[in-house]
Amino acid sequence: MARSLPSLVIGERVLTLDPRPQGKATIDVEALSRHLCILGTTGSGKSTCAAVIALELESAKIPTIVLDRTGEYVELLSSLDPTVLRPGENLVISPFDPKDSYAYKQIEDWISLLDHFSHVSHGVGLSPLQYRVLREVFDNYFHGTRRPLAIQELLTRLEQYEEETNASVLKGWPESIEALISKLWPLAHGVVGKTLNTYSRSIDVEQFFQPGLTIIDLSPLPDDRAKNMLSQIILKELYEEVRKKGRTGSIRLVMILDEAQHLAPNEKGYVSIPERCAMELRKYGFSLVTCAGRPSLISQNIIANSNTLICHMLNNQLDIETAAGFFIGSNVKDSLRRLPVGIAMLQVNHPEPKDSARVRVGTVDQRNILALGLRGSASGSEARLEEIIRAEPL
């Protein structure tokens, strides 16, 4: 369990017309239990901000996971020697693995997982008919066996189900089953298949609750659909494990979610897995740090349930309107449009709401550590180095 600390340093407070530091900008560790949201357009310093928070969490020995969709955090944080998990290599996981004895609830959980995957990757959830088909296929397979069901085998059983039930003569059945097969087929091939189309797993979810920094590098996966599926599997397992552990007054685990709009879209009537984590796990010691380039594209539940907001430059009017409503102070909209690279607006609502502050993200020492990570990386980006250097004091 993480030791109690008063605050995390995220940078230095600055004035609009005076770049000289006005004191450290901090966030209480306790505030993380009510989540944090980082917003900002591409290149504004959003990823550097998340990396600074990861630095502080690692220093505080708070268990932290970064779901890294592009691989940039592997580079930024390489000097910390984090545990890096890569799909198809040291990250292999069967999504349909009955952990304990056979239970009807597990089937419902697996179908729910596929429904979430369909929502965020294809823009529509499963139909009632697809729920029925999957329920019957799962039930038939696990009747009398505890062996995990590989995705390729699920595809085969869906095809068999279509033949055995004579679905072709039933209105809508062939289309529903073929749609399921089309969505699942890419998950059984290539590096995605090496990761998910398996009967085993290489990780134990309990390892994520040990002190230290773990980066799940999703960049080897070929597209957003594959990244979504693996991310949702991990999030759902963490959700269930945190609930099992019961309530607590301290932070058990921090999850940093990169490009969160992919997993928690602003879709009316849909409640994503990250949203459920944000709304239900506060008292269980689970902290969610979400990063998004477009505030208008991410679920408003995510932003509304974040006790602390950090916003870098935005250049889209709808995004500015969306983010500004969560900040206290005058001329917020104009400020969000004019923020230089590496400067952000900070809104802290713990223990009570305070006026927003202007912050240069990262102290000199923190930025040096991140720059060291980039310089030491084989694929270190000169553009990313320049972004960090440009945030140095004038």
Res. 393: pLDDT tops 80? no
Instruction: Map out the domains of the chain as residue ranges.
Output: 8-90+210-389, 104-196
- Taking phi over 0 as left and psi of -120 to 50 as alpha, with beta for the rest, 61 belongs to left
What does the pLDDT read at residue 123?
93
Report the C-alpha gap between 183 and 210 in whole angstroms: 35
pLDDT category at 146 given cuts 50, 70, 90 is confident
- pLDDT interval class at 351 (50, 70, 90): confident
Contact 37, 303 (CB under 8 A): yes
Instruction: For 332-343, write each residue's pLDDT tens digit.
Output: 999 999 999 999
State the pLDDT at residue 117. 97
Asked if the model's pLDDT at residue 196 lies above 80, the reply is: yes
100 pLDDT higher than 90? no
For residues 364-392, average pLDDT: 65
Q: pTM here?
A: 0.91
Q: Extract the runs of DSSP E, i.e. beta strands, from 122-275.
A: 213-217, 253-257
- The residue-averaged pLDDT of 58-71 equals 96
Overall size of the chain counted in residues: 394
Task: Report d(CA 278, CA 304) in Å as an integer.
Answer: 10
DSSP secondary structure code for residue 142 in this structure: T
> Average model confidence (pLDDT) for the chain?
89
pLDDT band at 3 (very low <50, low <70, confident <90, very high): very low
pLDDT above 70 covers a percentage of the chain that reads 89
pLDDT of residue 2: 45
Q: State yes or no: pLDDT of 354 exceeds 80.
A: yes
At the top level of CATH, which class does the domain 8-90+210-389 belong to? alpha beta
The CA distance from 200 to 148, in Å, is: 8
The CA-atom distances, in angstroms, between 128 and each of 4, 117, 161 are 47, 16, 17
More confident residue, 2 or 111: 111
pLDDT above 90 for 226: yes
- Identify the pLDDT of residue 1: 43
How does residue 111 score in pLDDT terms, banded at 50, 70 and 90?
very high
Provide the pLDDT for residue 267.
92
Average pLDDT over residues 75-100: 92
Band (173; pLDDT cuts 50, 70, 90): confident
Share of the chain above pLDDT 90, in %: 73
Q: Is the pLDDT of residue 392 over 60?
A: no
Could you tell me which of 319, 314, 312 has the C-alpha nearest to residue 347?
312
pLDDT of residue 383: 58
Looking up tokens 């595809």 gives 155
Contact by Cβ (8 Å): 384, 72: yes
Q: What is the mean pLDDT of residues 271-293?
A: 95
